[in-house]
Each structure stands twice: as structure tokens, then as C-alpha cells.
Structure 1
């Protein structure tokens, strides 16, 4: 008869814990692990409310208002440019703006949920994507709203497919690709922030714009670095208010826009309908829309990863189920945009992460508050007009700061695990091509003016370069070895034999062979969650071995209900006098593997382990 397990007590803080975690709370657990808040070169962040922690409704509304203030102007601007440039009427413009704001609300609220396969469970502020402006104008001009609607509906299902097949694409859309795309987005868009520093009404002093932007930047940085408590939570609003106050003191604040706006407004519905018999315009534009959609998916994956990292009090492994939910929800936003005839949407990672970083509030309640404020701004034009009076230099300064944060997040994503020759080449060449070709004259010279306007973004070329290099590295390497087994104890013998044969083929010595065998057994044991009372597994297990110089990469593909192994390894206490029996597999794995990476998707878990060896 098996005795009940003894309650576990953390050796550092004397708090109770479960068998596979260290402390009762995530912050204490991380602190007591001896990691001191550090993992993969990242430090613990001053997040007051994590996504699952409830903040007060008043605080959620305050932070949400700051988020909407940042996104409202770009939303209306992108919609207006797309509609006006395509020679559509005022009725269609009013309808498109209303629908864009409502779609922002719906998708931002969905992102805050954790519905199965939908939503990212984080604050993900959503708005129209600038990458689609040129091609949207072409579609509206050549085929009209019905053609645009049909194209967006097709591309929405492309995003659904990418979300579903993300585990298959994991070796193509790698952290290096995602991080490179984020860095390119930050660098190529920062000039829009600097350009807005000079956007004030005619007759304004030349120094007014830069002065307003500088004051906004100084106040924001001061509150982020030295502010605490409520002051930090209101840092965005205080910095915006400071910029608005200086603009008013200079006599450049445009309050007339608020006075002229009506209190309530509902434009006539302008549903474009779907073209069920697409003409030549549809087929001519479809490849371009699909390519841009794939790039948008890559960016959405990157956005989800950086928002997850910014939202946690301590570094944790990225949950790719939320990444899948982000891409699927963005696809739903594109579907709604197609049905209503508005430009497609994307996550605004720069505004989302900067809002979290400045205020320290990552609670999902803020996402719901942002959605509600979007609805109010859509129904009551005077509210939207008030938010639109924020001067351009203020928004420019905030955009510069936000994109700087995005660049650092992209660099952390790309450089995680260190740099080798392959990563250096991929990142360096992709950044060089993206920055060098961004809106360069050679693009319209080669592709023509119309296609040159569509394919002028350097992010497109940088992303394609990174993906192409990933494909080359994936399919030109050595032939991987594969073992298919079941997740039960009986399969351990076959797994051990597979590891022996692998080490023998690599010419490894006995200590390296034993280390490889141990890693195989302990990884499967940790992934399956076996213990003394249960020796049963379930489902299929696939092990893929990819030999490299001086090491081998092992990939374990299975379905598991266990906690992320990366987080479990990080939370192990270093100084436990008597390690718990359920932690033994984790401790052995940590001591023998060079690195462990656990990616959790819907229905499948992938653990990648690097093991060093010598002959």
C-alpha cells in the first residue's frame, strides 16, 4: 500500500507548493528558485497586474482610455486614406470608420478572452494594418468594395489555416524570423513618429512640434523610470496631457473639432456584399493579398510572443496556444473587415507592449475596457473627436518610444539561445535587405509604379529573406532520424535503443552516449508525467534527431497535459537538501541537456533538447 505523499515546503520561503512547482505564487516561486528573476538574459519586470490578475474597474477604464487614445488616430487615418484614395464617397467613408472602430472593439475583446482556439488571453490592441493600404486602394479602385470583400474573406481563411498548421510551420517561422520581423517593423516605422513631430497647424512656430514631442517624451520616461503606484499607471495619460497643455499654451490646440462633432451618429449601412463570380481583377490581386497575409501572420506571431513576455512578472516560456489564438482571432478580424468593406486589422504590438510597460497593468480586464471605449467612440462621435485632438507631435513622441521597446523585444526574441553563424547570417542579411529596400526606387523601377507601391515595404523583403533562409537551413541539413513510439513505459526500451544507435552512428564515446540515453528517458518521463503510482502513458510519441556539429538536436512530439517543462526547469530550487521524487527527472534532464525548449500547441507538445557529445 502506497503512503500519501508528504506536503512539500519551499526550502527558501517555507511556503507550500505542489509536486511540480516551487512556490505557491508565481513571483515567490521564481524568486525562490534562485534564478533571481533571470532566464535567457531576461530580467523580471515590474508588472503590477498579470493577465489573470483582476484590477479594479476604474483602473481598467483608465488604462484602457490611454490605449484607445493611442490607436484611435491611426485607425481613422488608415481608413480615410484607403477610402479617399480609391475615390469612394463620404457615405462609404463614414460607414467604414464606424465598422473599423466596432471591429477593433470586437477583436480586442476576443483577444482578452481565452476561448478555445480564439483569443490570446492578453491585452492585444487591434487596428487597421498600414501594410495593406496600397493594395486596398488598388482593389477598391479596380474592382470596388465587393472585390475587396471577397479578397479579404479568402485571406481570412489563409490566417485560419496558418493558425491550425502552426506546429508544422514551427521550423520555418522560428524565433529568429519572428524577432527579425519585429526589429524591421520598429526601424521602418520609426520615421512616421519623427515625421509627426512637425505636424501642427499652419502658422505654428517651427520649434513648437519638436518642443511638444520632447516634453511628452521626457515626462513619459520620467514616470516609467521613477514613477510608482498610481503615478506609473497614469504615466501615459499624464505625458499626453503634458504635451496637450504645451500645445494649448502655444495656441495650437484644435478644440473646434470637438465642438463641431455631433453627439450621436449612425451612418447608412454600406455592406459591399461578396462577389461570388470573381472577375479578372480578383484573380490578378489574389496572389498579392495572399503574400501580404502570410507576412501579416508572421508579424502577428511575433506580436503575440512579445506581448506575452511583456505581460508576465517574470520570464516564462511562450505559450504557442495563445499564439495560435492570436492568428485565428486576427483572421476573424479580417473576415469581419471583408464583410463590412473596411481595411484588414492587425495587432498593434507597439502600443500594447508600451501600454503594459508604462502602466505595469497587463490584466485582461483592460482589453475589455478598451473594447467598450471603442464602441463608445464609434457611437458618440464627440468622444472620438475629443481623443483625436491629441496633437500629432505627442503621438509621434509616444510612437518613437513604443517602437524602441518593440525593437528591443524583437532583438531578445531573435537572440534567445545565443548567436551562431546561421542565426547571424539570417538576421544580418534579412535586416540589410529590409532596411535597404524599404521604399527604395529600385522596387517601382523593376515592378512598375502600381506593384512598386504595393511591394515597397522593407518588412516584406526582410521577412521573405528570413523565411527563405530558414527553409534552406531546414532542407539542406543532414537527414534526420525518426522513431515512432507510444507514450508508455513499454516504449522506454525502444527509445533507449534508438539513442544508443544514434550515439553509435555519431561516433560518441561512452559518457556522451550515457548522457544522450538519460536525456531521452528523462524527457519522455517528464513529458508523460509518470510517477510511482502511474506507469501508463497515452497517445503517440515521435522522436526526431538532427545531428549537428558536436551535438544533436532531439525533438519530442507528443500530446501532454503537463506544465511547460521550460518553466518547471526554471522554477526548480537549487539548494533543496532532499529533492522530491517527482522532480528527479527534471533535475537529471537539466544537468544533462544543453538547452530545453517546450512549445505547447493545441493538441500537441513539442520539446526540443540539445545534447552535446564528443567522440
Structure 2
């Protein structure tokens, strides 16, 4: 049965080292998937913004350097920065429209100032993440993930249909078919060792089929040098922003917030796909991911480069197909990106891969990504409210992808931003979730210290909650027992709380009880514990039957409560327990 669980196919989890050759192999696949998006964004913004070829060359060089740095940082975990996971980083397409407007209005200098505003707003999201935990739910994240899949499909289909002039219009389809057939067969039937090669072999077969149809133009490859640096095009920073800055700053701030919300969903998807067993989401890793990306946004803004981002669709597809989630793949990708930045010849070689081949790879990634969105929605169960939120948000976002109803009704670029399916669907999911949260009854709260001597006070508080709801004696006892076991789980002799209490400085504990129909949602908020309670609860059925005081407490807690969730942040630890009457 274990083999049928999500992630059970993984050969390497993030903290498990793999061989350098395997890390390099998987890193090449990740680079192949992400590089075309970076090139596309840089070229579109530079050309549409009326900038010179020298500026485009500089931004391409700087983009690869920034991507190498942030990929390595995400693979690490230095203080609060980085996730310790592999992420396929690219230059974000989200900023294309607003960046073109900024370049047209004030050139690269104005763009630098506005990108710094975006970086500040982006960093505010991980800082306030504990306050957003009720809004950025698995249902919201899953909806955004599914909408991202839908939004990428039109671009993928356009790339698939590409064919050189003078050849059969179906040439692209032949190339796509060869790539898909080989990649699919190897992924589904090849042994573990060969599965890691599935995308590379599929891409190779697609490239071979593309050769007779004239997909390759080798002049740029021959002209490129092996090692080279572009001319310096540093835009500088204007310390006296013009009127255009104040007019466009709110727009960049909103884009950054939407950008960060999308990043939360992406980071959750990558975290879940990188584990053999389903576990509770580690929100400290989530904060580290966003902090690392925020720092890279500052660095990229200072040199006039659009912000980097990561697409979970790409990362999840590579992890799923290869079975390798080791963070050493991230280091390998960083080395490859650095080599591409310093070698125009290698960069040109990557850019020779035909569009239909890349389109086939994206098609595989989109399918896997959509399923990840469904799994995220189902993570905490589904009820009438969640069904309505997910269904309406997805339908609205998908409809916007087919027709932008705001076009011509509101000024540009607001019509483009609000007419974006991912933006509108994501905002609707967040708005409906916030409404559901705010419309619930207000919780009762108790602030105390996390120590055994406070148990009678907490017990009295829970009895009062049950009495106000009219619960019978059996239901009241179950609520009291759930509260006692939740506190006991945090006060075992071998954890951080006991050590803090023994030093005469017990942690602060905030308990809240919110009635919800015939149930009560309890929250216990205190300092961090090293081990995630949600993980312990999910593993109880698999762990050996050893008599252990903490084990007994965990089992009793699950017995009394219908659901138990645990979220960990830097500086905060939250246990949520739902008890039915």
C-alpha cells in the first residue's frame, strides 16, 4: 500500500544526497524546461520597451547570474533564507506588461525604482504569513495551481504548432508526437534508473526528428564565442522619483502581492511533491522560500533585471518524472546557469532546441501540475463551502483566459491585470475564503503560560465554552480531554518547551475556541517545537508499537479530536484541533 501513496516513487528526498552525475543529469532537464521562458521574457520586455540590443544582452547576462544565485540559495537553508529544496527558477512573466510601460515612460532608471517597490511589498508577505494562514488555505493554493495550468495551455499549443517555412504544417506535430511517446513510455514503464533519463531521451528523439524538417539555424551558434561578457548597461537609481513613479508604484505593488500569493501555492506544491509520505506543510520552509526570492528581487532590481520566480509546474514535473527531489540538483542547476551566463556558445546551443520539443515537455508538466492542484484542494477535505469557493473561482479564472471582459472598460494595464485568469481566480478564492472566515462567530480567547500548573485554568475555560454551547457531559469531557492532550503533547520532557519551562521562563500560550455549528475549533499558539505534530499524527499507523509517553498523548489527541493540524513559522507554533459534539 505504501507504494501507492503520493511521492512513494521518490528515490531521493531534498536532504538525501544523490550522485553528482545524477544531479547534473536532472539539473540539465530542469534548465532545459526553464530557460526558454527566461529568454522569452527578456527579449519581449527589451524589444517592446524600445531598448537597445546592448541592453537586452546585459539583461540576459544578469538574469542568468541572478537565477544561478537564487537557485543555489533555495537549495540551501541559511538562517531564514532558502527552502532546502530544488526549484526551477525563471524570470517572471508576471511583470512583462508593467515593465514595458515603465520602460516606455521613464526608461531603465524608472524601472529600477519601481522594481524596488515591488521587492518591499513582496517581502511583506512572508513577514505577515502567520496572519494570512486562514486565508491562504490548501483550497486557495490548489485553485491557483489549476488556473496556472489552464493559463499556460494556449502558449503551449502555439509553440507546438510551430513549423519552419517551406515544410509541412504538420512537422511540429510529428516532433511533438515523437517527444511525447518516448518520454511517456520511459516514464511509465522504464526502471528507476532509466526514468531519470526519460525527459532527456524524449527531448533527444524530438530534436532528431526535427532535423530533417529544417528546424535548426546554426549561424548564431557558429558566431557565438565560448567565453564572453556583455557591455555594462547599469541603469542606476533615481533618488528623486518623477511623477511617473508615483503614478505607477501602486500598480507594481499590487502585481508584487499577487506574485507573492502565487509563490505560496507554488512552494506548497513543490514541498508536497518532494516527500515520499504526505506530511503537514512546513510553513517555515514556505517563509524561507519567499524570503530568498524577495532578496533576489532586491538584487535583480538594483541592476535593472526583472524579478526571478519559480514555477512549481516545472519543478513538480521533473521531480515526478525522475524521482529525484534532492537539493543537490538545485546546486547543479545553479552551476549550469552560471556556465550559460559566462558562455554565449552554450547558451546558443540550448536555444537551438525546437519549439515543438519544448511544447511537448510543457504539456507533460501542465498535466502533472493540474493533478497537484486537485490534490491540494482535497488535502483538508471538501465540503459545500469549499466546493463553491473552488468551483466559482476556477470557473471565473478559466473564463478570463478565454475572454477578458475588462478590456475596453477600464484603463490599461489594469484591464490586463484584472483580466488575467490566474489573478482574478486567485483573488476571488482569497476573497471568498476571507468572507467565510470573517462571517464566522467570534472566538473566545485565553492568554496564559505553557506549563502544567495552568491546566486547571485551561480546563475551566473549555468547560465554560462547552456550557455556553449547551453540550452534554460526554461532549464536554471530550473537549476537555482534547485540550489537555494538546497541551500535554507540547509539554513532554524531551522537547523545547520543557527545557524553556525548566529555566523559569515558560512560553506564552494563547488558546482560542471558535464555535462552528455543533463543533468547536480550538487553537493553541505558542513557540516553535522542532518536530511537526501533524507529521507525527500522519505516521502513527506506521511507527512500531513502542510504549512512549508522547506516543500515547498523540494517539489520545487524535482519538478525542476529529481533525488536528499543525503549522510552524519562525517564532510561532500553532496547533488547531476540531472537536465534534
Are residue 506 (structure 1) and residue 469 (structure 2) matched?
Answer: yes
Q: Could you tell me how far 1:76 is from its partner in structure 2?
A: 0.9
Secondary structure at the aligned position of 2:133 is classed as: helix
Q: Quote the residue 1:186 is aligned against.
A: 149
Give how far 1:422 is off.
Answer: 1.5
- Deviation of residue 129 (structure 1)? 1.1
Q: How do 1:76-475 and structure 2 match up within 5 A?
A: 76-438=39-401, 440-475=403-438
CA distance in 2 between partners of 1:382 and 1:232 (Å): 29
What's the CA shift string for 1:162-201, capped at 9, x where partnerless?
A: 1111001111222221111111111111121111111232
**What CA distance in whole angstroms lies between the structure 2 residues aligned with 1:226 and 1:44?**
17
Structure 1 residues 350 and 576, CA, compared in 2 at 3 Å: closer, same or farther?
A: closer
1:310 Cα deviation after fit: 0.9
Residue pair 1:307, 1:349 contacting (<8 A) in 2 also: yes
Query: Could you tell me how far apart the structure 1 residues matched to 2:498 and 2:508 are?
Result: 18
CA contact (8 A) 1:488 1:536 kept: no
* Residues 478 and 546, structure 1, Cα contact 8 Å, conserved in 2: yes
Question: In the alignment, which residue of structure 1 is the partner of 2:554?
Answer: 586
Does 2:525 correspond to 1:557?
yes
Superposition pairs for residues 490-529 of structure 1, below 5 Å? 490-529=453-492
Displacement of 1:237: 0.6
Mapped to 1, the partners of 2:250 and 2:285 lie a distance apart of 28
Q: Per the alignment, do residues 52 and 149 of structure 1 end up closer, same or farther by CA in structure 2, a change over 3 Å counting?
A: same
Matched position secondary structure for 1:543: strand
Evaluate the alpha carbon distance shift between residue 536 and residue 332 of structure 1 in structure 2; reply closer, same or farther with a 3 A threshold. Answer: closer
- Could you tell me whether the CA contact under 8 Å between 1:54 and 1:363 is conserved in 2? yes
Per-residue displacement from partner, 1:54-87 (whole Å, max 9, x unpaired)? 1111111111111111111111111110010010
Distance 1:208 1:161 in 2: 48
Partner of 1:62: 25
Question: CA–CA distance in 2 between the matches of 1:197 and 1:276?
Answer: 46
After superposition, where does 1:570-585 map in structure 2 within 5 Å? 570-573=538-541, 579-585=547-553
Do the aligned residues in 2 keep the contact of 1:257 with 1:389 (CA within 8 Å)?
Answer: no
Cα deviation digits, residues 285-340 of structure 1 (max 9, x gap): 11111111111111111111111111112212111111001111111121122111
Distance 1:485 1:52 in 2: 37
Contact 2:75 2:82 in 1 (8 A): yes
Deviation at 1:452, TM superposition (A): 2.4
429-438 or 301-310, larger mean C-alpha shift? 429-438
Helix, strand or coil at the partner of 2:191: coil
Task: Give the Cα separation in 2 of the matches to 1:577 and 1:365.
Answer: 35
Name the SS of the counterpart of 1:143 in structure 2.
Answer: helix
- Assess if the C-alpha contact under 8 Å between 2:80 and 2:288 holds in 1: yes
Distance (Å, rounded) in 2 between the aligned partners of 1:65 and 1:242:
16
Q: CA deviation at 1:447?
A: 1.2
- What TM-score, normalized by structure 1, do the two folds share? 0.90
1:578, distance to aligned residue in structure 2 (A)? 6.2
Contact 2:500–2:507 (Cα < 8 Å) also in 1 = no
Instruction: Structure 2 unaligned segments of length 5 or more: list them.
Output: none
Name the SS of the counterpart of 2:407 in structure 1. Answer: helix
- Cα distance in 1 for partners of 2:203, 2:543 equals 48
Cα–Cα, structure 1 residues 168 and 223, in superposed 2: closer, same or farther, change >3 Å?
same
In the alignment, the residues of structure 2 paired with residue 194 and residue 81 of structure 1 have an alpha-carbon distance, to the nearest angstrom, of 19
Say whether residues 1:43 and 2:6 are aligned partners: yes
- Does residue 569 of structure 2 align to residue 601 of structure 1? yes
SS of the equivalent of 1:144 reads helix
Q: Distance in 1 between matches of 2:314 and 2:252?
A: 25
Distance change in 2, residues 1:475/1:61 (3 Å): same
Partner Cα distance (2:36, 2:395) in 1: 31
| Displacement of 1:106 | 0.5
- Partners of 2:9 and 2:265 in 1: CA distance: 22
For the aligned residues, what is the CA RMSD? Answer: 1.9
In the alignment, the residues of structure 1 paired with residue 329 and residue 355 of structure 2 have an alpha-carbon distance, to the nearest angstrom, of 25
Q: Shift of residue 250 of structure 1? A: 3.0
- Asked if the contact 2:164–2:214 (Cα under 8 Å) also holds between the matched residues in 1, the reply is no
- CA distance in 1: counterparts of 2:165 and 2:307, whole angstroms: 33
Cα distance in 1, alignment partners of residues 178 and 384 from structure 2? 43
TM-score (norm 2): 0.96
CA drift of 1:230 comes to 2.4
Query: How many residues in Structure 1 have an aligned counterpart in Structure 2?
Result: 576
Match of 2:443 in 1: 480
Q: Go from structure 1 to structure 2 and tell me whether the alpha carbon gap of 1:82 and 1:577 turns closer, same or farther (over 3 Å shift).
A: closer
Paired residue secondary structure (1:479): coil
Q: Distance in 2 between matches of 1:452 and 1:262?
A: 43
